[in-house]
């Protein structure tokens, strides 16, 4: 068995057990390098290729549990279930980000229209778009976000996963 075959077996075992992590943006010898799980094909399509997942066929459009939504790559907190609402679009919709510093907006002229794209600041992930047709009593904004760009952290796991400071949102 040659060294490449052995490396392949090791990688396959790591992927199967969930112990393999990849980080192409911080691939360095720094001691505090942030590691993130390998992305699924849909997560790559959405976050890296500016794609859009199908409406009503995604993980969080109908999620009503308490918790926060973080960037699937970097883990930076993006949205809270306290700001989520049913927009009828088939994608998770929020009235505001949980921390405005963790998102940025860009003009998007793709798809034959002008829209405001939403990206995460840390990982530069494409998240979705923001529109000014949200609930008026909550500021009028609708952050229409792809589930594939997010990871949901339930309220009861916030502290254990390092997001304890966000528990105050649910008191």
Which residues are catalytically annotated?
A: 144
Q: What is the DSSP letter of 29?
A: S
Within 8 A by CB and 6+ apart from 62, the residues are none
The structure tokens listed for 161 are 């996963």
Cβ(91)–Cβ(61) below 8 Å: yes
Instruction: Please answer whether residues 170 and 115 qualify as being in contact, where contact means their C-beta atoms are separated by less than 8 angstroms.
Output: no
d(CA 61, CA 37): 22
Q: Which helix (H) or strand (E) holds 151?
A: strand 150-154
User: Residue 23 has which token pair?
Assistant: 């980080």
């Amino acid at each position: 068995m040659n060294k490449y075959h052995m490396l392949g077996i090791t990688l396959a075992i790591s992927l199967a057990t969930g112990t393999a992590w990849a980080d192409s943006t911080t691939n360095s010898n720094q001691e505090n390098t942030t590691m993130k799980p390998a992305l699924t094909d849909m997560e790559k399509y959405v976050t890296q290729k500016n794609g859009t997942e199908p409406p009503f066929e995604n993980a969080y459009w109908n999620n009503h549990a308490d918790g926060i939504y973080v960037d699937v790559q970097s883990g930076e907190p993006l949205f809270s279930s306290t700001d989520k609402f049913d927009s009828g679009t088939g994608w998770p919709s929020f009235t505001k980000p949980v921390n405005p510093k963790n998102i940025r907006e860009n003009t998007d002229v793709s798809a034959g229209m002008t829209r405001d794209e939403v990206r995460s600041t840390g990982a530069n992930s494409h998240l979705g778009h923001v529109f000014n047709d949200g609930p008026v009593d909550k500021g009028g904004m609708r952050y229409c976000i792809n589930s594939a760009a997010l990871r949901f952290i339930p309220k009861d796991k916030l502290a254990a996963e390092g997001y304890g400071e966000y528990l105050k949102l649910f008191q």
